[in-house]
Structures are given as C-alpha cells and as structure tokens.
Amino acid sequence: MIKISCYRTIQEKLPKAFCMLAEKCYHNKINVFVYANTKETLTELDKVLWTYSKKQFIPHGTIHDPHPEKQPILLGEEFKNLNNVSNLMIINADENQLLSILSTDENFNGKCERLFFVYAQDGDVTDGAIKNILTTSSLGEFKFESYMQGEDNSWRVIKE
C-alpha cells in the first residue's frame, strides 16, 4: 500500500517547509525524486537547500547536474526518475500536472512506495482534488494523510 502525505502551507513558507521535509527524508534514508512545477521553482528549491542549514548540508542535485543517479534527493522540473527511487515529492503542481504525473508509471515501474505533496494552501489544488486524482489513477490502494502548517511552523493533522 502506498503512503501518501499532503503538506499544506502558505507560499512564503513553502521553501522552508520543503527543506524540513527533505531533511527528514534524508535522515530517515528515504531517497526521493522531487518534482518542481517550474524551472523557477526548481532553481529556488535547489538554492534554498544549499543555504537551509548552517550545521549540516542536505545532499542533493538536479536532473541537470552530473551523476543524478547518485543523488539521495534529486530535483527536476521534468518528471525523470534518474535516481531510480520509489519515493516522489511533488511541489506545488497544478491539477493537470498531477494528472500527467500520476497517469504515467514509466518512471516508477510500479514500485512507488511513498508520495509527498507539498503545496501552498492558497493555490489551485486541494486535498480533495488530490484524493480524487489518486482514486482514479492506477496507483492502487493507498493510505492518505494530510497536514497543515500553523503560524508557529508546527504541523497539525487534518482529519477527513
């Protein structure tokens, strides 16, 4: 069963929320491909990962860097699973991008274990829309969790 987690925040906090999640994935040895919805978002996320922590670097790269297959966290504005992982993080994608990503299985070859959705709550996509897209996709059974970031940066569970 695929574990799906949605993280809603405000646009201004999205880069830091992404970094916190990427850091957690790295420390838990969860290698991940990060889909950024635009080249600008990709550049911003790459830059913020370089400057996020003064204590520890979060190893990562983009699909445009040498040796993407060696990256524990790989970022791309194109859906290319070049680091051959079974975990996908989708950042601020719209419904059409989600439909496109979730309707193609060629990059995960049926081995998707974990999906993370990180998006701004003032954007176009809602948890309900994501859940509807997932239900009609070919992913099969899934466990769905949703979180919202508070003013104090803590995450609270959203009950259905």
Output the domain CATH number for residue 48.
3.40.50.10110
The answer to whether the CB of 34 falls within 8 A of the CB of 81 is no
Q: What is the pLDDT of residues 100-146, one digit of tens each?
A: 877 765 556 567 889 999 998 776 777 888 888 888 777 778 899 99
pLDDT of residue 160: 64
Quick check: 37 pLDDT over 90?
no
Domain extent, residue 144, equals: 2-157
Give the count of domains, the chain. 1
Residue 45 burial (C-beta neighbours within 10 Å; 0-12, 13-18, 19+): buried
Average pLDDT across the chain, whole number: 87
**Local confidence band at 40 (pLDDT 50, 70, 90 cut-offs):** very high
Round to whole Å and give the CA distance between 57 and 60.
9
